[in-house]
Structure 1
């Protein structure tokens, strides 16, 4: 079964994703470790690639989060893009700037609606020197 064009960017699904994405960002900046752990799929197959780290599996994520200090910077999001593909799969992408570095950040999250609710099943964060938009 394939996704048809009318199943892409369903308004109700995008609204749900927006709420989850906003809650995730608040938990990230508050260093709410339990909430951050809970946003991710509790499964050995979950993957998070960070700026200078990687976690393969939920247990690795929990260990990582336990060691991360609370942020001492602010973060501004830019070009947030939220797209759903059917009722149970979505992708969130954004660019960001932080107050503590001139680098430019990128974040991608793949979200899936599972029996326990919306969960991040894969995530990638990177930071690079600023470059002009094409």
Structure 2
């Protein structure tokens, strides 16, 4: 199995940063396009556990936008031709606590999609 094919790594990296831009501007349609549209998609957040794209959409529509943040270290790895992980550290505006985001990406006929995501903040209890 090849790791980090340069063409695929570029594709996933572009998708990752497109998602980050959509998150920071609360572009829900763009975020939806980058998450797998299905009941199997999972997102664990700092205070929520969401199973299926419908629950994820409802959460996004109800929260009124993500807290603004800046990214720290980002590690993206492509395994083979259709699977990748993206792990990022982030810092929310006004906070020194480090956040962590992990995403599993799968390449489908219509492009790279997040199938699983997990967000946490160091020291957060909810």
Global fold match (TM > 0.5): yes
* Number of equivalenced pairs: 123
- TM-score, with structure 2 as normaliser: 0.92
Are positions 1:24 and 2:19 aligned together? Answer: yes
Alignment of 1:29-40 (within 5 A): 29-40=24-35
| In 2: Cα distance, 1:41 partner to 1:124 partner | 15
Question: Deviation string for 1:51-86 (max 9, x for gaps)?
Answer: 101110011111111101124x53111110010001
RMSD across aligned C-alpha pairs, in angstroms? 1.2
| In 1: Cα distance, 2:41 partner to 2:65 partner | 23
Are positions 1:113 and 2:107 aligned together? Answer: yes
Aligned to 2:73: 79
Deviation at 1:102, TM superposition (A): 2.8
SS in 2 for 1:123: strand
- TM-score, with structure 1 as normaliser: 0.87
| In 1: Cα distance, 2:91 partner to 2:78 partner | 25
Bigger Rg, which one: 1
Question: Deviation string for 1:90-123 (max 9, x for gaps)?
Answer: 0000101111323210000100001221100000
| In 2: Cα distance, 1:74 partner to 1:112 partner | 26
SS in 1 for 2:29: helix
Alignment of 1:83-94 (within 5 A): 83-94=77-88
SS in 1 for 2:96: coil
Alignment of 1:1-134 (within 5 A): 4=1, 7-71=2-66, 73-129=67-123
| In 1: Cα distance, 2:62 partner to 2:112 partner | 25
| In 1: Cα distance, 2:61 partner to 2:12 partner | 26
